[in-house]
Chain A
Amino acid sequence: MPARSRALWFAAMGVYAFLYLPLLIVIVFSFNDSRLNARWTGFTLDWYAKLLGNQQLLTAAWNSLVIALAVTLISVLVGTIAGIALSRYRARALSLLVVTPMAVPDILTGVSLLVFFVMIHLTLGMQSVILAHVSFCISFVAIVVRSALTNLDPHLVEAARDLGATPFIAFRKVVMPAITPGIVAGALLAFTLSIDDFVITFFTAGAGTTTLPLQVYSMIKVSITPEINAVSTLLMVMTLSLVVLASRLAPETIRT
């Protein structure tokens, strides 16, 4: 191996280590038979068993799941329609307005949504968190759907019309199958963005509602226990399996 490509290989390995080593440590120590995240002392499933007894954590996880599902559903519906509109009316201002929420700092989004919810007398809780997440997830879905539509041969819709399909049937038979991978990708994005959002949730959840990230944060204020490693590992397994599932459903866009 020439010196230059060896150096390149080491650099690449360095990057991968930087990306994945912390995750790997979390997974490994979630099975460690010790309260300390310092030394490997033996294999155990105790921490996972303990999770099942932690009512607070289970409630938070359940809340996160319900919020993420609701957010995904609403974002996909509204975001898909927005994406179609964006591809049809190619005004720059329109797409800028849809993209901007992605670029606004979370802290700003969180504060402004809180102020807004208070102003309209919306009770803080699950519903306000869902609305808050939807407000930034729509953008991601819209962008992905628009790019799927940009790759669609415009003659396909005309061909369907030409061969006897009404505008609605042409959309259902030709446009929908073509943008479904984009919609699935958008749904996946919305779900993962929602389930691990901390900052915006922190501002909009109110006093009574806890999500998984909020609960983990309040737990590490005391100490980083292997229990947190176990929660994180479960979360990781769930999101990764969603990615794999989505790539099965949507071969063209997501699969690498």
Chain B
Amino acid sequence: MSLLEMRHITRRFDDDTVAVDDLSLSIQPGEFFTLLGPSGCGKTTLLRMIAGFDDPDAGSLLLDGEELAGVPPEQRPVHTVFQSYALFPHMSVAENVAFPLRMASVRRAEREQRTREALEQVRLADFAHRRPDQLSGGQRQRVAVARALVNRPRLLLLDEPLAALDLKMREQMQIELISLQMEVGITFVYVTHDQGEALALSDRLAVMNNGRVEQVGDPSDVYEFPDTRFVADFIGTCNLLDGSVGQSETGLVYLDVPGLGPLGVASDASPRTGAPGTLAVRPEKVRIDARIEPATHENRLEGTVHDQLYLGDVTVYRIEITDGQLVEAMLPNTSARGERFFDFGDQVQLAWRHDAGRLLAD
């Protein structure tokens, strides 16, 4: 049985905007599940409904098979790590962490022991008597996590908890969150707009847009096999080549893309000829060279280097095929001297395997 079951959840706000639109999802016990989407996609609204700060207008939320409607936040075995951390400023670190235990009337001796253990778990045992304003951002974040976990909730909700941290700290905290989640075995539901974070952290993730789920799957599924144009575009970068379906054979569809000709893409679907379609292929899947030998099961294009973007570890080249149509290719910078392989205006060839692309129907 799934731990949390969301069935046809809808939430409208006063001005008639639909924040969450007939959304259904189920979350399995013990998994690290991420709600990923741009701001305003409804992910935070959904999280607030799970926590009990907001109620759906329609649909039902089931935790362990029991309806959550009408259960106030303090009675839900669900705790939240807020984006602002929301540490109680007038309490010490230890008092903050002990708060949920105090609310649950845990006896003093046990309370003190569990508080100590929770602080040790996030390596803050030495900071027990500090006030929140005497801590760094990363330390505050860890206090917030310890406080939310100390009472062993069935579900931990995390609302963009790393957004306020700098890049290095964020990467370190990601690793800590993963190992902490494995250690405590509590189900995490994590909200973020950062696709890199979602890919790095999650067992499964749901990509949300306009209050709906666009795609659910494990990170590599969603990254490699996006179902929709939105998903392909939102996660990572992607060449999106619009055209119409030409001839097709078993497991392979040719898409006629204006200016590029027919391009093959592996697909189990058999769309009718002439239907609109989009070929999505990620820049790192596109090989680029001065000359590429023709091969079967590959698309090959010729063009000139339009511009290039040096990113340190890789360089992204944008190749102009015929007037206006641009295709991106990514090349790792294997030379230590910072030499570029190609320059503006160079004639180059591009190639990618049929099964490196993805046919999007919308």
Enumerate chain A interface residues (CB-CB to B < 8 A): 153, 155-156, 158-166, 169, 173-174, 177-178
B90 touches A162 (CB 8 A): no
Residue pair A163, B82 in contact (C-beta under 8 Å): no
Whether B147 lies near A163 (C-beta < 8 A) is yes
A153 contacts across to B, CB distance below 8 A: 84, 86
B-side interface size class: 20 to 34
Contacts A155-B84, A155-B86 hold; do A164 and B72 have CB atoms under 8 A apart? Answer: no
A160–B90 alpha-carbon span in the complex (Å): 13
Q: Which of B53, B84, B90, B151 contacts A163 (CB 8 A)?
A: B151
CB distance from B144 to the nearest CB of A (A): 8
Stretch at the interface among B73-81, B107-115, B170-178, B353-361: B73-81
Contact between B73 and A162, CB atoms less than 8 A apart: yes
> Would B103 and A158 count as touching, CB distance under 8 A?
no
**Is the beta-carbon distance between B89 and A158 smaller than 8 angstroms?**
no
Distance to closest chain A CB from B92 (angstroms): 13
Is B213 in the interface zone, CB < 8 Å from A?
A: no
- Kindly state the separation between the CA atoms of A178 and B88 in the bound complex, as whole angstroms: 9
Please report whether the interface of chain A is mostly helix, strand, loop or mixed according to DSSP.
helix
| A163-B148 contact, Cβ under 8 Å, with A169-B103, A177-B90 | yes
Is there an interface contact between A164 and B74, defined as CB atoms closer than 8 Å? yes
The 8 Å CB contact of B90, one of A158, A164, A178, is: A178
Contacts of A169 in B (CB 8 A): 103
User: A158–B74 Cα gap in the complex (Å)?
Assistant: 9
Contact yes or no, A163 B89, CB < 8 A: no
Task: Give the complex CA separation of A174 and B99 in angstroms.
Answer: 11
Rounded to whole Å, the gap between the CB of A223 and the closest CB of chain B is 53
Chain B residues closer than 8 Å to A161, beta-carbon distance: 52-53, 72-74
Do A159 and B103 touch (CB < 8 A)?
A: no
CA distance A163 to B148 in the complex (A): 7
Q: Which residues of A contact B79 (CB under 8 A)?
A: 162-163
Which of A155, A163, A178 has its CB near the most chain B CB atoms (within 10 A)? A163
The answer, among B74, B89, B147, for a CB contact under 8 Å with A178, is B89
Bound-complex Cα distance A174 to B103 (A): 13
**B148 / chain A contacts, CB cutoff of 8 Å:** 162-163
Kindly supply a per-residue 1/0 record for chain B positions 57-99, scoring 1 wherever the CB is within 8 Å of any chain A CB and 0 otherwise.
Answer: 0000000000000001110001110101011111000000001
- B277 sits at the interface (CB 8 A): no
Please tell me if B51 contacts chain A, counting CB pairs below 8 Å. Answer: yes
**Other A-B pairs beyond A162-B52, A164-B151, 8, CB < 8 Å:** A155-B82, A162-B73, A162-B74, A163-B74, A163-B79, A165-B74, A166-B74, A177-B90
Interface pairs (27), CB distance under 8 Å: A153-B84, A155-B84, A155-B86, A156-B86, A156-B88, A158-B73, A158-B80, A158-B82, A159-B86, A159-B88, A161-B52, A161-B74, A162-B52, A162-B53, A162-B73, A162-B74, A162-B78, A162-B148, A163-B79, A163-B100, A163-B103, A163-B147, A164-B151, A165-B99, A165-B103, A166-B72, A177-B90
The 3 lowest CB-CB distance pairs between A and B, nearest first, are A164-B103, A159-B86, A155-B86
- B104: Cβ under 8 A from any A Cβ: yes
Given contacts A155-B82, A159-B80, A159-B82, contact A164 B89 (CB under 8 A): no
Q: In the complex, what's the smallest C-beta–C-beta distance from A26 to chain B, in angstroms?
A: 41
Given A156-B86, A158-B86; A163-B99 close (CB under 8 Å): yes
B100 touching A164, Cβ below 8 Å: yes
Q: Which residues of A contact B147 (CB under 8 A)?
A: 163
Name which of A156, A162, A169 has the most chain B CB atoms within 10 A of its CB. A162
Choice from A160, A164, A178 contacting B104 with Cβ under 8 Å: A164
